[in-house]
């Protein structure tokens, strides 16, 4: 084992590079690269934060009430009377979640939400379940919100119905591009449509409630047809199904707790205030839209959304204000995907840093965002949209189980955290990976708040799993354990690699006294070949040049030239009657490897052209790359390129 004390002092030299990235097409698409020092200037305030992290939750009022009415409508108009009481129950759940997550934000100012809370308080497996649940939810957030936004467009322009999936994918790609520009720029870009939606929805519900109070609010004219062959009885199961559908309006509540680091200082305070703003807006709109939808007799349908029916009833036709309302709804539904684009890369980076996802997801791109995560989210969500043909009803059953599972784990973890704090003495602290615990005299009250939140969201999750199981929820119940298994496989790989590369208890081998045996594959004899031969002579006197013969005439030319220029170096000609090049060469190399001596390194020296312009690289065989792919797993084999520049 090496003793570090025996090492010689090592000089360290620090230099600042003057290199700046050259301009290319990406600069025009996503902006100029940002230096690491620019990171503090890329944070956002409460107003922009509301647009970035709350658009998912606020936009869900455009489809949450509709999905609730879709279930109730199968029992007839009498059942629609349950919609508003169910909406009130959902708002009560929203209040519980808001209080719980407000505590989480201040307890974990570094962000991470359910994943970090579960990791520090419940253990590895619960944290991976929370991470898998949230990552799945963010993917479905993009798919559902964009598909729902396209449904608003289709409601106004039915001729586009057949192209809804293509339109949805195009919108996902657009949002991806904007997010690659950075959090600050994407937030500023999406703030305008977010606030435009809020203004239009408050105006619409305000006018609707005023007209209802004055008795001038009518009912929907020419509502879309709702097919139901046999009316279902009003049962507890049906009410629970409607409730579970309505709770999709709460997805996105956890987003702010995951993205605290994006806020300006003081981060926790700004994030907490933004959470309260979001919850107030969400609860108000949810109650207002549900109340009015029932009063006007809105019919849930994919052909025309409830929001469309509400707007044309309130404004008495498809006028300019109606179009503006639908435009605002479409924009916020599309922008809702931005919440997932803000949180998915951050969460996947945290999971990757812990070694449960590919390390690439933890690398920041040129605009100080996690580019790999953004692109991955866009591609997976687009695949789902195409698979389900942008059908909101088809995607909804997959949607809320994951997020409510993460809600439950997060609140359970926070309850356990307060229990641990209650065991601390005054003036003492306990340092954990994600936070530092100090004694809090109000620990019992906070533990009860999070405990109630955990029980409430756990019950909703079970209701959703049971009522939506046959409609597709079983897919998520299988997918989450599969993702956890994948996380563990990735972690095991990184763990084993780290152990193999570790310098702990490392005994340095004796000085290397072996020898090189050099093989040079050639296709012809030219200046590049001779340059490779000169380099090989610097390594060893044991050099073998190999030519794979596919054409006898060409082989004769090679032999003749080598006799002149080879300087006595042996040339092995491997006949290839089927005109294969790589396989015979690999076969010969395998024979050499099998018969090599102990402490002998086989070095493959490959002469390689370097054309004056990169575009010409495609005109030449990349022999070194082919050999590298085949021989990388062979111990004691080194592959060296000898470039020969052609000016």
- The 10s digit of each residue's pLDDT in 261-295 is 888 888 889 999 999 999 999 999 999 999 999 89
Both 164 and 249 in a single domain?
Answer: yes
Distance between alpha carbon 474 and the CA centroid of its chain, in Å?
22
Cα-Cα-Cα-Cα dihedral sign, residues 116, 117, 120, 123: negative
521 in Cβ contact with 641 (< 8 Å): no
Both 270 and 393 in a single domain?
Answer: yes
**Where a domain ends, among 495, 530, 564?**
495
Both 477 and 559 in a single domain?
Answer: no
Reported as a single tens digit per residue, the pLDDT across 369-420 is 888 999 999 999 999 899 888 887 777 667 677 888 888 999 999 999 999 9
261 in Cβ contact with 350 (< 8 Å): no
Residue 419 located in a structural domain: yes
**Number of Cα atoms under 13 Å in the Cβ half of residue 602:** 24
Q: Can you give the CATH number for the domain in which 338 is found?
A: 1.20.1740.10
Cα-Cα-Cα-Cα dihedral sign, residues 347, 348, 349, 352: positive
State how far the alpha carbon of 435 is from the alpha carbons of 334, 353, 424, in Å. Answer: 35, 17, 15
**What does the pLDDT read at residue 498?**
83
Please choose, from the candidates 242, 287, 249, the residue with its C-alpha nearest in 3D space to the C-alpha of residue 59.
Answer: 249
Both 405 and 287 in a single domain?
Answer: yes
147 in Cβ contact with 386 (< 8 Å): no
266 cis-preceded (ω within 30 degrees of 0): yes
Kindly state the DSSP code that residue 62 receives in the 8-state scheme. Answer: G
**Number of Cα atoms under 13 Å in the Cβ half of residue 540:** 17
* Residue 288: count of CB within 10 angstroms of its CB: 21
Residue 15 located in a structural domain: no
Both 263 and 371 in a single domain?
Answer: yes
Kindly state the DSSP code that residue 361 receives in the 8-state scheme. Answer: G
Q: What are the two backbone dihedrals, phi and then psi, of residue 581, each rounded to the nearest 5 degrees?
A: -110, -55
263 beta partners: 44
Buried b (16+ CB within 10 A) or exposed e, 144-163: bbbbbbbbbbbbbeeeeeee
349 in Cβ contact with 373 (< 8 Å): yes
3-state secondary structure of 597: coil
**What does the pLDDT read at residue 407?**
87
Instruction: Quote the CA–CA distance of 539 and 307 in Å, as a whole number.
Output: 76
637 beta partners: 602
The count of residues in the chain is: 647
517 beta partners: 602
3-state secondary structure of 180: coil
**What does the pLDDT read at residue 213?**
92
In the chain, the number of structural domains is: 2
**What does the pLDDT read at residue 150?**
86
Both 73 and 157 in a single domain?
Answer: yes
Both 552 and 488 in a single domain?
Answer: no
DSSP 222-241: SPPP---SSPPP--HHHHHH
Residue 500 located in a structural domain: no
Q: Can you give the CATH number for the domain in which 544 is found?
A: 3.40.50
Both 530 and 432 in a single domain?
Answer: no
State how far the alpha carbon of 81 is from the alpha carbons of 68, 78, 178, 310, in Å. Answer: 12, 6, 42, 17
Please choose, from the candidates 311, 252, 260, the residue with its C-alpha nearest in 3D space to the C-alpha of residue 98.
Answer: 252
Q: What is the residue range of 624's domain?
A: 515-645
**Number of Cα atoms under 13 Å in the Cβ half of residue 72:** 30
Residue 503 located in a structural domain: no
Both 93 and 161 in a single domain?
Answer: yes
Both 339 and 408 in a single domain?
Answer: yes
Residue 16 located in a structural domain: no
Ranges of the chain with pLDDT below 50: none
Residue 507 located in a structural domain: no
Both 192 and 265 in a single domain?
Answer: yes
Residue 371 located in a structural domain: yes
**What does the pLDDT read at residue 194?**
86
**What does the pLDDT read at residue 396?**
67
Residue 563 located in a structural domain: yes
Both 545 and 455 in a single domain?
Answer: no
Place of tokens 């084993």: 496
H helices of 157-296, in order, are 164-179, 183-213, 236-246, 255-258, 267-295
3-state secondary structure of 519: strand
Kindly state the DSSP code that residue 438 receives in the 8-state scheme. Answer: E
Please choose, from the candidates 104, 592, 127, 55, the residue with its C-alpha nearest in 3D space to the C-alpha of residue 357.
Answer: 127
What mean pLDDT, rounded, does the chain reach? Answer: 83
**What does the pLDDT read at residue 35?**
63
């Amino acid at each position: 084992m090496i003793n570090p004390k025996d090492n010689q002092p090592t000089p360290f030299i620090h230099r600042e590079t003057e290199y700046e990235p050259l301009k290319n097409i990406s600069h025009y698409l996503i902006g100029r690269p940002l230096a690491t020092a620019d990171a503090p200037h890329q944070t956002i305030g409460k107003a922009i934060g509301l647009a970035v992290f709350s658009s998912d939750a606020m936009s869900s009022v455009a489809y949450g009430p509709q999905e609730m009415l879709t279930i109730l409508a199968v029992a007839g108009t009498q059942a629609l009377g349950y919609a508003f009481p169910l909406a009130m129950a959902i708002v009560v759940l929203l209040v519980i979640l808001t209080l719980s997550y407000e505590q989480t934000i201040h307890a974990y100012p570094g962000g991470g939400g359910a994943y970090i809370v579960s990791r520090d308080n419940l253990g590895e497996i619960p944290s991976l379940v929370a991470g898998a649940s949230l990552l799945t939810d963010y993917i479905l957030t993009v798919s559902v919100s964009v598909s729902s936004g396209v449904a608003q467009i289709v409601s106004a322009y039915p001729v586009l119905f057949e192209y809804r999936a293509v339109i949805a994918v195009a919108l996902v790609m657009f949002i991806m591009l904007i997010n690659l520009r950075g959090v600050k720029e994407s937030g500023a870009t999406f703030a305008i449509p977010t606030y435009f939606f809020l203004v239009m929805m408050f105006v619409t519900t305000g006018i609707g409630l005023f007209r209802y109070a004055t008795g001038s609010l009518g009912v929907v004219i020419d509502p879309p047809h709702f097919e139901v062959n046999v009316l279902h009885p009003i049962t507890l199961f049906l009410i629970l199904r409607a409730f579970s559908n309505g709770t999709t309006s709460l997805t996105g509540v956890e987003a702010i707790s995951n993205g605290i680091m994006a806020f300006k200082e003081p981060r926790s305070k700004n994030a907490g205030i933004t959470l309260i703003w979001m919850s107030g807006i969400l609860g108000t709109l949810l109650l207002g839209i549900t109340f009015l939808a029932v009063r006007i007799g809105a019919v849930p349908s994919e052909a025309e959304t409830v929001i469309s029916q509400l707007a044309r009833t309130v404004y008495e036709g498809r006028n300019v204000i109606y179009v503006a309302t639908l435009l605002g709804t479409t924009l916020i539904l599309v922008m809702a995907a931005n919440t997932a684009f803000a949180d998915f890369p951050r969460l996947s980076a945290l999971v990757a840093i812990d070694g449960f996802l590919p390390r690439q997801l933890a690398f920041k791109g040129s605009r100080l965002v996690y580019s790999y995560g953004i692109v991955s989210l866009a591609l997976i969500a687009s695949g789902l949209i195409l698979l389900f043909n942008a059908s909101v009803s088809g995607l909804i059953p997959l949607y809320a189980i994951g997020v409510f599972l993460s809600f439950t784990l997060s609140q359970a973890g926070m309850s356990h955290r307060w229990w641990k704090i209650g065991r601390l003495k005054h003036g003492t602290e306990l340092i954990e990976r994600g936070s530092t615990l100090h004694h809090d005299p109000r620990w019992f009250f906070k533990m009860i708040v999070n405990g109630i939140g955990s029980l409430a969201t756990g019950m909703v999750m079970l209701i959703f799993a049971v009522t939506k199981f046959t409609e597709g929820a079983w897919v998520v119940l299988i997918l989450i354990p599969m993702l956890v298994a994948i996380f563990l496989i990735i972690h095991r790989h990184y763990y084993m690699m780290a152990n193999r590369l570790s310098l702990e208890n490392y005994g340095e081998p004796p000085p290397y006294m072996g020898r090189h045996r050099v093989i040079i594959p050639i296709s012809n004899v030219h200046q590049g070949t001779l340059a490779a031969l000169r380099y090989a002579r610097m390594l060893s006197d044991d050099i073998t040049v190999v030519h794979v013969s596919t054409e006898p005439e060409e082989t004769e030319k090679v032999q003749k030239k080598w006799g002149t220029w080879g300087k006595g170096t042996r040339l092995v000609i491997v006949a290839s009657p089927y005109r294969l090049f790589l396989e015979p060469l690999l076969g010969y190399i395998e024979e050499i490897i099998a018969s090599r001596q102990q402490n002998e390194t086989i070095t493959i020296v490959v002469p390689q052209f370097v054309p004056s312009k990169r575009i010409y690289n495609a005109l030449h065989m990349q022999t070194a790359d082919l050999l590298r792919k085949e021989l990388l797993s062979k111990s004691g084999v080194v592959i060296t390129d000898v470039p020969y520049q052609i000016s």
